Structure 1
């Protein structure tokens, strides 16, 4: 009965979502009055922040009211004493008796007791109903067709008229080809069981019973798209396997198990749309682009000096340095890092509890810390060798062993080639979605699934454009200059939290950031920020970073100060040149590679 009630209420809700004017209807008494405010405007100012958030709260309150109306019989039959004795009542967990609870809550009558118990029971029932119907409500909001497997292209659900709808057969999403081909911009014609589609100057031909699509390009070149599953006729439509066709059309394809939807995103098209707001930032990225067919070598040096502040015994300095050598070609990167960190052990207390022999061994290791890394984007594997790990693990690892980590997620990002702001936004959001999807079919409000990826990546782009978009730059002296300071930050706080809020919400004594991009794409930058002093638990911190970058050189300097505790100075310089040296895709033949997911070591085959 409860499931039937939920279904009926879900259908009512889905219908109401198609009529936005209903959302403007207010409650009786109005929501602002129920919350104890003197006006709607006052309630929006102090609670919701804007009209849209208030209207959403009104809509949710209306839904709750409709739901309670439908629960009238259950409410009338509610037994507060039986509920108190049940495991559902949270209050009975903390009180020894009903009488003790009533005394603590100043409840003088059984009617008052019933009201509190009823409110608690209704809240729990509403939460259960809200969760149970959440997927249906969200599907309706996204525009998904009711009762069908959905197909979404670039954020919009495709319409499949008549009785021919997408279906999942043996784990493969099969789709009527007519609406699908039309959605991609094709002109479709049928001759018996043959289907012909003209799209972007090419002609696509398929037929029922065939597991391939024949493509004749504008220049007469003929190729095939293997589908893996034969097309078939059903309800007057020719069905084809969705994923192989969509991938051949340049789409990223994901399955959204929550909303039973195949999600297609034309990656290049989406990224191009995102990049429209970031041409100046992308100008800087483009200047850093490397030719994927060539090899590049980067040699870098980093020097650091840590000063521990001591007003009684005198300040003490601890120098550190690192040398970096990197080879890269396309998606393959080799990194060698050598560091001297032995000065860290001179800090008082660093060797406490360590016997002299062990302390000498650790100090020797830190004087010459070495690390090697090999990353193969095509194979999706990252190899790491660090002799210090042998010391830290008590000899469980051999000094010359490599550890292999699967790094499939990194293969989606360009390595050694230019990125764009759109590509970074798209891929970072996609990885978030894939991570959330890995938790299984469980869905909660606010969770981002594949069906929401298109919408959310554009929301993310709008937020980024407010700080890094083309409109944030000004032309000055041959540069495009982006400037952000304390005044801008305070204006943001006051726009979000009201006039005067910056005075007590601002975290900074100083704030200034500037990025200057030349027409060549070379850039200089400066970040200066100083936080407010919050006492011993959060002392003032100053951070000053500046530098420049070009396709062949990167220079960076940093000063970090923590009040009355330490200063850290750091400089980095890196130079990149073309080279004949080619990076390895795996450790040399015969060396030991450890699989961290296995308990044994295996010899790594020779590098290809």
Structure 2
């Protein structure tokens, strides 16, 4: 019961963050006995041949697999080419070749599969890599080790009506800005942090603040930004000895006048950073040293398609498109499809169109929504009925106690004018396991944003963050190239499990 609650709320949190703000299978065991393939929560019952494992890769009979996924399949016996078509995509590949061609919206892309399709002599069935076929179809793929099951989920089936069910929330994505033009960004930020001595550790208490400004030019996913900031550690210094202060003095002086320049090529993901702080980490670094990393590769290593996610800021991507991109992660539990579907239904009742109150004044529509314990419990009860969640799967009394203790509450206001975003306000607060609290207040419109957030973990830390930004059209030229003769230091990919 608790497991289900945690799953639903975890998935709900992820989807909520997407809605309110704008992979691969693990190598399988060599023994293929008992391996299953699940599509949208149901195991595929292979009638002509069984699932196989070849060189550590799971392969499946192509026709039944693709037809189960909703594709129309054809096989050219002469060329041995297999073609699978859906209403918006076509994939084709040839027996014996690792090449697979994907045709979507008139754009063709050829990729290499990990295992070439082959004909099994015993069953006379053609086998294909389940991971590559599913991902080529645009589906999410995962592996449940305990159940020895490959998981395939078509997010479009879950989010088919998301633009209709959440048309009010999706207004946060709508803009009438000319996204082909170049914009200048100006902003300022502050962060105050106080930590306490953690019990049973050698971690020392900290007390510092960061204040800074940001300025830059952006065009679509390309950016050239400069940040200047000051780190104030005066309160912390009172706890240090004269010797310790002397040792830290060079770094403290640098922190009083810190800067960072960032250049990002949105097409490739290559990002260059230069800062006077880098000399603390690398004594050989100077003002001509630029650290390089590829942010897309970094997030790809964690199973996140960051480029597609960021693209919604530079295109008029619909909410359904964004949800499909955000769902392209690897799942590790055979209940994933059911959990996602249940979470979607819960959110539909909690923050879907029917949950909002609408008022119109002139040509401005204002949509408001209050979220509290009563609203959450009502949404859960409706979800239980709609999705057939049984009483033994979720303890409403226990959940009601949790909601009372957490004191969760939120208010969401969205305004539109002529179909485009006019303004928004997101306020929320709550407690964290009786050991802390949080509060946030985010307001803005298409060109402005103001953020005020606090986190108070009574026994560990306190944090307060404030930020505001403004964008305006500019004639300034965008330059994502680093200076000629710059020293480039490659930053390795970080381990996503750390």
Q: TM-score normalised to the size of structure 2?
A: 0.62
Q: Distance in 2 between matches of 1:214 and 1:258?
A: 33
Per the alignment, do residues 331 and 320 of structure 1 end up closer, same or farther by CA in structure 2, a change over 3 Å counting? closer
State how 1:392-407 maps to structure 2 within 5 Å. Answer: 393=281, 395=283, 398=286, 400-405=288-293, 407=295
Match of 2:468 among 562, 572, 576: 572
CA contact (8 A) 2:427 2:442 kept: no
Q: Counterpart of 2:253 in 1: which secondary structure?
A: helix
> Structure 1 residue 547: deviation in Å?
4.8
Per the alignment, do residues 491 and 350 of structure 1 end up closer, same or farther by CA in structure 2, a change over 3 Å counting? farther
The aligned residue for residue 523 of structure 1 is 423
The aligned residue for residue 156 of structure 1 is 42
> Could you give the per-residue CA deviations for residues 340-367 of structure 1, whole angstroms, max 9, x where no partner exists?
334x426772665456766664453233
> Structure 1 residue 300: deviation in Å?
1.4
The aligned residue for residue 22 of structure 2 is none
User: Gapped runs of 5+ residues in structure 2?
Assistant: 6-31, 195-207, 382-394, 494-498
The aligned residue for residue 497 of structure 1 is 397
Q: Distance in 2 between matches of 1:348 and 1:192?
A: 78
The aligned residue for residue 602 of structure 1 is none
Q: Which deviates more from structure 2 when the two are superposed, residues 204-213 or residues 230-239?
A: 204-213
State how 1:18-417 maps to structure 2 within 5 Å. Answer: 147-162=33-48, 164-188=49-73, 199-200=85-86, 229-234=116-121, 235-254=123-142, 259-267=147-155, 270-272=158-160, 277-287=165-175, 291=179, 294-302=181-189, 321-342=211-232, 344-345=233-234, 349=238, 352-353=241-242, 361-376=250-265, 379=268, 382-391=271-280, 393=281, 395=283, 398=286, 400-405=288-293, 407=295, 408-410=297-299, 412-413=305-306, 414-417=309-312
User: Gapped runs of 5+ residues in structure 1?
Assistant: 1-47, 54-145, 308-317, 434-447, 599-608
Per the alignment, do residues 451 and 472 of structure 1 end up closer, same or farther by CA in structure 2, a change over 3 Å counting? same
CA contact (8 A) 2:413 2:426 kept: no
> Structure 1 residue 161: deviation in Å?
0.5
Correspondence 1:552 to 2:439: no
> Structure 1 residue 374: deviation in Å?
3.9
Bigger radius of gyration among the two:
1
Q: TM-score normalised to the size of structure 1?
A: 0.53
Per the alignment, do residues 501 and 370 of structure 1 end up closer, same or farther by CA in structure 2, a change over 3 Å counting? same
> Structure 1 residue 575: deviation in Å?
2.1
Q: CA RMSD in A?
A: 5.3
Q: Counterpart of 1:341 in 2: which secondary structure?
A: strand
Q: Distance in 1 between matches of 2:402 and 2:56?
A: 55
> Structure 1 residue 430: deviation in Å?
5.5
Q: Distance in 1 between matches of 2:243 and 2:253?
A: 14
> Structure 1 residue 449: deviation in Å?
0.5
Q: How many residues align?
A: 417
Q: Counterpart of 1:522 in 2: which secondary structure?
A: strand
Q: Distance in 1 between matches of 2:157 and 2:426?
A: 34
> Structure 1 residue 217: deviation in Å?
11
Q: Distance in 2 between matches of 1:527 and 1:569?
A: 15
Q: Counterpart of 2:63 in 1: which secondary structure?
A: helix
Per the alignment, do residues 167 and 380 of structure 1 end up closer, same or farther by CA in structure 2, a change over 3 Å counting? farther
Q: Counterpart of 2:50 in 1: which secondary structure?
A: coil
Match of 2:405 among 484, 506, 510: 506
